[in-house]
Structure 1
């Protein structure tokens, strides 16, 4: 009798456990978004004061969210993407910086040694620009 009781308890236990449903929670993580652009020497524009060169990159993916909560990082490469300098940086005698707003990234170039009366010339070589938009958990 004890053998049958043990067998019945085992069968009932197996049936009870087989009714359990495993619930798996999958968290969706939005990956960073990377954009690559090449800026050639003839694409730079001279500012009205003649002290700064600039180039605007139209980037509709750069939404208000990234200004308020996310992250925008910009880097340049002058060696065909073998290495990058995160902006702001000085590269080949030019001082590079960046400004961004919703929809646009503006690259700026200045000559840190520029003297009055000498016009700033655009960099002779093309540069590759990498813009990364990344999500962030904003904590107030």
Structure 2
């Protein structure tokens, strides 16, 4: 019985001592970009139905548009220390974005059928763009 316990103890000791801990560090491939839109940078469309700001950046390339995920956040109109993901509606203004090769267009239009003129922001809006890489999986 002593020999069996000793054999099990030796086997367990050798088994546990031979284990090697592998530390796996995964790189986060997501990219985050921050910028500020000043109130004077919003451009009113010719028909007067929406304000647009275009963020031009070469990081939004054809692969980003076709294959990757893009999230856009804007600072809250009342509490600038928090972010809201676009699209969203606040105080009858609908905020949305359009992704194109070379940048992102952020639009403000009214969600009120009675008043079709959107309200231009009066203070800077902080914007956060998160690009999430992805590999095209096919059909």
| Unaligned segments of structure 2, at least 5 residues | 1-21
Alpha-carbon distance between aligned partners in 1 of 2:102 and 2:125, rounded to the nearest angstrom:
21
Task: Look at both structures and tell me which one has the larger radius of gyration over its CA atoms.
Answer: 1
Paired position in structure 1 for 2:92: 93
- Across the two proteins, how many residue pairs are aligned to each other? 114
Alpha-carbon distance between aligned partners in 1 of 2:26 and 2:136, rounded to the nearest angstrom:
17
Please tell me the root mean square deviation across aligned C-alpha atoms, in Å: 2.3
Paired position in structure 2 for 1:16: none
Per-residue CA deviations over 1:44-90 (Å, capped at 9, x if unaligned) read: 0001111011000011111111111111111111333x321111101
| Unaligned segments of structure 1, at least 5 residues | 1-23
Within-5 A mapping of 1:107-122: 107-113=106-112, 115=114, 119-122=117-120
Q: Alpha-carbon deviation of 1:93?
A: 3.2
TM-score, normalised to structure 2, is 0.71
Would you say the 8 A contact 1:55–1:108 is kept in 2?
yes
